[in-house]
Structure formats: C-alpha cells, structure tokens
Chains A and B, each alone.
Chain A
Amino acid sequence: QKEVEQDPGPLSVPEGAIVSLNCTYSNSAFQYFMWYRQYSRKGPELLMYTYSSGNKEDGRFTAQVDKSSKYISLFIRDSQPSDSATYLCAMSEPGNQFYFGTGTSLTVIP
C-alpha cells in the first residue's frame, strides 16, 4: 500500500502564527519527500525537497522527516496572508513516481 495521508483541513490561523502541516505514509521505501504549495487552479510550486530523515530549513519554512514514524512535517514561521494556499506533500521511492497527499487548505487571517 502506497497511501499518503494528509489532513485536508481547512486550517485557519492568524497572521504571524506558526503553522504545522503533516503527512503520514505507510511505504517504508519512500526516501524522497517534497512539499508543494498550490494556489487555486494553478500548478504545484515546489517549496522543499528532502532526502531521507532529518530537517531542512529555507527562510520561514522548515521541513522535517521522521522515517521511523513515517511522518513528515512542514513548519511555516511568521505566517503571512500570502501563505494562504493548499499545501501538498509528495514522496517517492528511488526512481519512481511521486505519491501525493490530498493537500491541506491553509488560510492566514490578517
């Protein structure tokens, strides 16, 4: 089973809050993990790409991968109204297609 589970939300936070977005998965062979941001009727925009377990930080975004728990997270610090979008997690085995979560809809309220 290669399901990727993601809470669809919607998630609503005040501006400046820390946002935590999460995905779980069942396939222990997944090694590559991505977070995408998708605005309505637009293509997924790559935010973060990580390999195996660990943390990766890029500006206000931090991606965490815990392979032992089959759990990945994306943290957004100092959230802004422009962060309002749907956030998709995606993951893959080496050399294979990406499997996406359903996406979490985020609204940051000014």
Chain B
Amino acid sequence: EPEVTQTPSHQVTQMGQEVILRCVPISNHLYFYWYRQILGQKVEFLVSFYNNEISEKSEIFDDQFSVERPDGSNFTLKIRSTKLEDSAMYFCASQQEMNTEAFFGQGTRLTVV
C-alpha cells in the first residue's frame, strides 16, 4: 500500500544549526503538508503546499522555515537556525485531491541540544 515516507526518523542537532527534513509523499498526490507535535501537545499545522507554492502557513512557520519540492518526488522542510523549542516530531502529509483523506508519514523526531 502506498505510504508517505520520511527521513531521517531521528535527527539530533545543535542549536543554531540548519536541518532539512525530507518527505516522499504518495506518488499521485498533489497537496502536501508539514505538521509538528511537541511532546504531549496537539498536532499543529505548519504549512501547506500545492502546485509548487505555499498555499497556507501558520504563525509558527516564520522566516526560519522554508519548504521546497526540489524534484518530482521529494518534499523538504528546512529550518535555518534551530532553536531549543523546535524540538518536536515533524510529520509530512499528503492528499490526492483537496478535501480528501490525508495520509501522514511516520515522522522525524527532531532534538535540538
């Protein structure tokens, strides 16, 4: 069964370093998302992406964050200068069409030290 895959599963980085989280959405899907979940808290929306551009972003998604679809398969989230409070699980999700089921990856656990 097609699935959303994310790499790495766990990333430890020093404060101030740049990290890139990678996602391969389901192949025929057109809408892509990044969410995060701080330990013990709600899953929070970061950004949505369609047709090679951001369609919506939250207050969390400030200038330190960027997304890119560098080729036909990968979808990346870059955090330019990580902060301690960026430590969280980051989930990628994709949808085939707007307003249909959204499928999530297994997440990348980011630990900023």
Which among B41, B42, B58, B106 is the interface contact of A97 at CB below 8 angstroms? Answer: B58
- Tell me whether A97 and B33 are in contact in the complex, defined as CB-CB below 8 angstroms, given that A34-B102, A44-B43 are known contacts: yes
B101 close to A43 (CB less than 8 A): no
Q: Which of A36, A49, A94, A97 contacts B104 (CB 8 A)?
A: A36
A98–B44 Cα gap in the complex (Å)?
Answer: 9
- B27-71 contact mask (Cβ, 8 Å, vs A): 1 or 0: 000000101000001111100100000001010000000000000
Residues of A within 8 A of B98 (CB): 94-95
Interface residues of B in 71-113 (CB under 8 A from A): 89, 91, 98-107, 109
Do A95 and B99 form a contact, CB below 8 Å, given A41-B109, A43-B91, A43-B107? yes
Q: In the complex, A77→B99 CA distance in Å?
A: 28
A75 at the interface (CB under 8 A from B): no
A34 touches B101 (CB 8 A): yes
Which A30-61 residues sit within 8 Å CB-CB of chain B? 31-32, 34, 36, 41-46, 49, 51
Separation of A95 and B35 alpha carbons in the complex (Å):
16
Of the four ranges (under 10, 10 to 19, 20 to 34, 35 or more), the interface on chain A belongs to 20 to 34
A95 to B41, CA, bound (A): 25
Are the CB atoms of B104 and A45 closer together than 8 Å? yes
Whether the Cβ atoms of B101 and A97 lie closer than 8 Å is no
Give, as a whole number of angstroms, the nearest-CB distance from A48 to chain B: 9
If the complex has contacts A45-B104, A46-B102, are A102 and B42 also in contact, measured as CB distance less than 8 A?
yes
Bound: A103/B38 CA distance, A: 13
Question: Taking A88-B43, A100-B43 as contacts, is the C-beta distance between A46 and B103 under 8 angstroms?
Answer: yes
B residues near A (Cβ < 8 Å) are: 4, 6, 33, 35, 41-45, 48, 56, 58, 89, 91, 98-107, 109
14 further interface pairs, Cβ-Cβ under 8 Å (given A43-B6, A98-B33) = A36-B104, A43-B104, A44-B43, A44-B91, A46-B101, A46-B102, A49-B101, A51-B99, A88-B43, A92-B99, A95-B98, A97-B48, A100-B43, A102-B42
